[in-house]
């Protein structure tokens, strides 16, 4: 079987599971969770970094060799997002960035227009931009034009663990947008992740589902396996559905019938 590799901005990514680094009861868990998930990319909130004591921050628990994806959590405008992204690059997080521009404090839904603007600003500055977005085709197309390296539609509001509430809209993006589609936010169970992968999304980003589980390390492994299974099912091509029963074996030709 040919190797199935995800490529983003020219970089090969082995794992299609991306995990976060927040909400854990103890930051020392991060290393074990990453080992169980076997992920290559981990998101970090720049605003959580203590710039005076970087050596004592949660970053020291992230093993070498991982690709950091700093996010602009806390930004309310494109300009604020751009400033946070630049800070992340200055402290050594690299030039990959997840854009989050949120003004809605109840549902934490992204501001589409400011997200497009931030994407355009940072792409021109050489950042590899991953915009977090509602699954809207017209906005997705604007993000492509703005220079996004991938798009990150939400499955449900952040931190809800409610699954793929936007499934049909994500399916449209998978069909129409020729960039990696990474479902971000709302995935709460391994079955949710597997379902998303089965419809052809390229990767899954999650944090709350692992961090709030009773056994985060075991849950990280469960998500790893679910993402792999869902991708394998997509590549295999699920069988067609039917409203009528169809026997797996012939019903005629035996017992004198």
State pLDDT tens for residues 233-252.
999 997 777 777 877 766 66
For residue 246, is it within any domain? no
Report if residue 241 sits inside a domain: no
Catalytic one of 23, 66, 98, 124: 98
What pLDDT score was predicted for residue 93? 81
Round to whole Å and give the CA distance between 20 and 68.
10
User: What pLDDT score was predicted for residue 114?
Assistant: 96
Percent of the chain with pLDDT over 90: 58
Q: How confident is the model at residue 1, as a pLDDT?
A: 44
Backbone angles phi, psi at 235, to 5 degrees: -65, -35
243 catalytically annotated? no
Which helix (H) or strand (E) segment holds residue 96: the answer is strand 96-99
Give the chain's mean pLDDT.
88
Flag whether pLDDT at 156 surpasses 90: yes
pLDDT digits (tens, 9 = 90+) for 23-52: 776 777 888 888 899 998 988 888 666 555
Burial class (CB in 10 A: 0-12, 13-18, 19+), 129: buried
- Report yes or no on 251 lying in a domain: no
In a domain, 213, yes or no: yes
Position 68 scores a pLDDT of 87
Q: Domain for residue 1, yes or no? A: no
In a domain, 125, yes or no: yes
| CATH assignment of the domain containing 133 | 3.20.20.70
What percentage of the chain exceeds 70 in pLDDT? 88
Residue 255 covered by a domain = no
The range of the structural domain enclosing residue 82 comes to 6-236
Does 229 have pLDDT greater than 70? yes
Q: Give me 123's structure tokens.
A: 């792409």
pLDDT mean over 71-98: 91
Task: Find the mean pLDDT for residues 168-179.
Answer: 96
Please tell me the total count of domains within the chain.
1
Across residues 110-139, what is the average pLDDT? Answer: 96
Task: Name the band, by pLDDT with cuts 50, 70 and 90, for residue 256.
Answer: low
């Amino acid at each position: 079987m040919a190797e199935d590799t995800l490529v983003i901005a020219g970089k090969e990514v082995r794992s299609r599971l991306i995990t976060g680094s927040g909400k854990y009861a103890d930051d020392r868990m991060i290393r074990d969770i990453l080992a169980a998930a076997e992920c290559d990319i981990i998101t970090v909130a720049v605003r959580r970094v203590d710039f005076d004591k970087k050596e004592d921050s949660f970053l020291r628990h992230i093993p070498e060799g991982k690709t950091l994806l700093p996010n602009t959590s806390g930004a309310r405008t494109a300009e604020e997002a751009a400033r946070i992204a630049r800070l992340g690059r200055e402290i050594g997080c690299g030039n990959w960035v997840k854009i989050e521009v949120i003004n809605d404090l109840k549902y934490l839904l992204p501001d589409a227009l400011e997200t497009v603007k931030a994407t355009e600003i940072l792409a021109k500055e050489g950042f590899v931009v991953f915009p977090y977005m509602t699954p809207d085709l017209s906005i997705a197309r604007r993000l492509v034009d703005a220079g996004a390296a991938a798009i990150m539609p939400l499955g449900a509001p952040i931190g809800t663990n409610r699954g793929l509430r936007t499934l049909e809209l994500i399916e449209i993006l998978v069909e129409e947008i020729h960039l990696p589609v990474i479902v971000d936010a709302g995935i709460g169970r391994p079955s949710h992740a597997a379902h998303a992968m089965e419809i052809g999304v390229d990767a899954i980003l999650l944090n709350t589902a692992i961090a709030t589980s009773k056994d985060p390390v075991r849950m990280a492994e469960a998500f790893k396996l679910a993402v792999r299974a869902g991708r394998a099912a997509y590549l295999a091509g699920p069988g067609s559905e039917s409203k009528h029963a169809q026997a797996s074996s012939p019903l005629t030709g035996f017992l004198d019938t």
